[in-house]
Amino acid sequence: MNLFFLRHASAGLRRANPLLDVKRPLDKDGKRQCLHLAHVLNELKIQFDLVVSSPLKRSLQTASLVGTETGYESQILLSDALAPEAGLRDFQKLLSECRDYENLLVVGHNPNLSQFLASILVSPTATSLPHVRLRKGSLARVSIARGPSTLQWLLDPRTVRALYTTSTNSSRRKTSRK
């Protein structure tokens, strides 16, 4: 299984009232991050068999924009296992339920999404988790096989922006007209 961890894109400042923060949407930069990331994923020819999102608005918008732009046509599965208050056991249960999918995209929040990623990368006997930094809009790809999981790559939003910029520039060489 290829497991993709996507932290929701930029959604502005956190709201003081938790009830309002649940409904906080993506801002203009967040929407642009999603479109750039989808473009890069299309260039890499990556498509998802299942997209699972936290029920919070900013995560669902991120999942929806990236999914739509990459050709994902099925329903996005909402899961409390990706909500900000979810624990590692919730996430492990979600993974066991989705084990039959080859390319799974999970969209959630920090700090738990980073902790879920770190927990997959270490052996069960490890005494501590490595620190993994997922900025808003970061995407990590992990290959889960029978042996230990392997981090294939991690795309920071800055890297995505650079890849998007270089892939959309003309590939024609500039020639002098002297």
172 within some domain: no
Quote the pLDDT of residue 176.
Answer: 56
3-state secondary structure at position 82: helix
- The verdict on residue 63 lying in a domain is yes
CATH code (residue 140): 3.40.50.1240
Residue 47 has pLDDT above 80, yes or no: yes
Q: What is the mean pLDDT of residues 61-87?
A: 96
* DSSP per-residue letters across 131-162: P----TT-EEEEE--SS--EEEEEE-HHHHHH
* Residue 17 pLDDT grade (very low, low, confident, very high; cuts 50, 70, 90): confident
In a domain, 174, yes or no: no
Asked if the structure places residue 109 within a domain, the reply is yes
What residues have CB less than 8 Å from 89, skipping those under 6 apart? none
Mean per-residue pLDDT, 108-134: 86
How many domains, the chain? 1
Contacts of 21 (CB under 8 A, 6+ apart): 14, 15
- pLDDT for 175: 59
Domain assignment of residue 151, given as a range = 2-13+29-165
Q: What is the pLDDT of residue 96?
A: 94
Residue 119, classified by CB atoms within 10 Å of its CB into exposed (0-12), middle (13-18) or buried (19+), is middle
Q: Does residue 19 form part of some domain?
A: no
Pick the range with the lowest mean pLDDT from 10-14, 56-60, 101-105: 10-14
8 lies in a domain?
Answer: yes
Residue 88 lies in a domain: yes
Residue 131 binned pLDDT confidence (cut-offs 50, 70, 90): confident
pTM, two decimal places: 0.89
Question: What pLDDT, on the 0 to 100 scale, is given for residue 177?
Answer: 56
